C-alpha cells in the first residue's frame, strides 16, 4: 500500500501511470465509509492499468458487493475499464446522461461518432496530416462495449456511508462532465474541470454542442465562492488555492483567444490548422507539423474551440470552401 495515500478521512488516492501519454498519470480516488466504497474513474483500457486497479481494490480490502464506480466524464482515461468493472467485477456504475450517450456511441469502432471525428478533421484543414482514427487516444483506449449505468446528473444526490455527494454541472471539457460535491466535508471531486499543473483540453465537439469554451469559462467561475477544503482533480498535483487557479486558467484561455484573433487579423482568412500552427504549445516539437498525430487531434480541437468562442461573441465568422473546409476571418 506504499503507493496509496490517505488524503482525508475516508478518501484515498492511487496515482496510476499513463505510459506514453502526455498526461503522464491519472489520479484514481476511492471513498470508503461504513463498509461502502466508491471508486472515481478508471484509467485507460489496458492490461497494465487493469492490474493497477485490481491491486488498489485488493490492497484496500474492498467489498465489491458494496462498491460503486463513478465516472466523471466520457474520456477514455476515465472510462476505459468501465465495461470490465461491470462484467468482471459486477460493480454498479454511475454517470451523467449526456456523456454516457456520447461515450456509448463510441464503443463501436465503425460508429457514426468516429466517422464524425474524422469529418471534423477535414473541416479543420487537417487532410495533409493524414490522421488516422487509430491514432486517437480516445479510440485506442476506449471501453469496447456498452454497459448499464445509473443516471446521475447535476443536483442528484449520491450517498456513500457518511458521505453525501451532490452532482455539479462541469460541462465544458466534455459536454456533460459531472462533479461530486460533499458540502459538510467541503470535498469536491472535479475530474478534469480544474487541473493544477496543466490546463484541461477544451475542444470543439460539433456545432450542436457549440461554444464549449464559453461553457467552460462560465462553469469554472461558479466555483470561485464554493467552500472547498479538499479539491480532488484527476491529473498531476492537487490544487490548494482554487480562486487563484481559476484566474490562471481564465488568463490562459484569454491569451489563446488573443493569439487566434491576432493571427486572423494579420494573416486574413485561416483554417483551424493555420490557427493551431500559430499558437504556442508546450510540446517537444519545433512546430505543429512535427507534433505526433495523436496530439494534432487535440491541438486542432482546442484551436477550433477558441475560434468558435470568438464566433459566439461576434468577433469572427467563417465560410466554407468548395471542399467543405472552414476558413475563419475576423469581423
pLDDT value of residue 2: 60
pLDDT less than 70: residues of the chain: 1-2, 283-285
pLDDT value of residue 284: 66
Task: Tell whether the torsion through CA atoms of 84, 90, 91 and 94 is positive or negative.
Answer: positive
Q: How many CA atoms lie within 13 A of 246 on its CB side?
A: 16
pLDDT value of residue 11: 98
pLDDT value of residue 241: 96
List Cα–Cα distances, 189 to 11, 194, 230, 316, in angstroms: 11, 10, 8, 36
In the chain the domains, ranked by start, together with CATH numbers, are 4-330 (3.60.15.10)
CA distance 105 to 126: 24
pLDDT value of residue 62: 97
pLDDT value of residue 36: 98
pLDDT value of residue 20: 86
pLDDT value of residue 31: 98
pLDDT value of residue 287: 74
SS3 content of the chain, % helix, strand, coil (to 5): 35, 20, 40
CA distance 234 to 263: 33
CA distance 300 to 298: 6
CA distance 273 to 13: 38
What pTM does this model have?
Answer: 0.96
Amino acid at each position: 500500500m506504499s503507493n496509496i495515500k490517505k488524503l482525508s478521512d475516508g478518501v484515498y488516492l492511487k496515482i496510476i501511470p499513463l505510459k506514453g501519454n502526455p498526461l503522464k498519470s491519472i489520479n484514481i480516488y476511492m471513498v470508503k465509509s461504513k463498509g461502502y466504497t466508491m471508486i472515481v474513474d478508471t484509467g485507460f483500457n489496458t492490461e497494465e492499468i487493469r492490474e493497477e486497479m485490481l491491486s488498489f481494490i485488493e490492497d484496500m480490502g474492498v467489498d465489491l458487493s458494496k462498491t460503486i464506480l463513478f465516472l466523471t466524464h466520457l474520456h477514455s482515461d476515465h472510462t476505459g475499464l468501465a465495461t470490465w468493472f461491470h462484467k468482471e467485477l459486477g460493480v454498479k456504475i454511475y454517470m451523467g446522461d449526456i456523456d454516457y450517450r456520447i461515450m456509448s456511441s463510441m464503443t463501436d469502432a465503425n460508429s457514426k461518432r468516429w466517422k464524425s471525428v474524422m469529418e471534423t478533421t477535414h473541416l479543420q484543414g487537417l487532410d495533409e496530416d493524414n490522421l488516422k482514427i487509430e491514432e486517437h487516444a480516445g479510440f485506442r483506449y476506449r471501453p469496447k462495449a456498452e454497459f448499464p449505468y445509473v443516471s446521475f446528473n447535476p443536483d442528484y444526490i449520491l450517498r456513500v456511508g457518511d458521505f453525501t455527494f451532490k452532482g455539479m454541472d462541469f460541462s465544458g471539457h466534455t459536454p456533460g462532465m459531472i462533479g461530486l460535491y460533499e458540502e459538510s466535508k467541503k470535498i469536491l471531486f472535479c475530474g478534469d474541470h480544474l487541473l493544477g499543473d496543466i490546463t484541461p483540453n477544451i475542444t470543439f465537439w460539433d456545432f450542436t454542442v457549440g461554444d464549449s469554451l464559453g461553457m467552460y469559462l462560465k462553469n469554472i467561475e461558479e466555483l470561485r465562492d464554493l467552500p472547498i477544503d479538499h479539491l480532488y482533480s484527476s491529473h498531476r498535483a492537487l490544487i490548494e488555492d482554487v480562486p487563484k487557479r481559476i484566474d490562471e486558467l481564465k488568463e490562459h484561455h484569454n491569451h489563446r483567444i488573443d493569439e487566434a484573433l491576432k493571427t486572423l487579423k494579420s494573416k486574413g482568412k485561416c483554417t483551424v490548422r493555420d490557427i493551431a500552427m500559430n499558437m504556442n504549445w508546450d510540446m517537444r516539437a519545433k512546430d505543429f507539423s512535427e507534433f505526433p498525430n495523436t496530439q494534432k487531434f487535440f491541438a486542432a480541437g482546442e484551436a477550433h474551440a477558441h475560434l468558435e468562442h470568438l464566433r459566439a461573441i461576434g468577433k469572427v465568422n467563417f465560410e466554407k470552401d468548395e471542399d467543405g473546409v472552414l476558413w475563419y476571418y475576423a469581423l
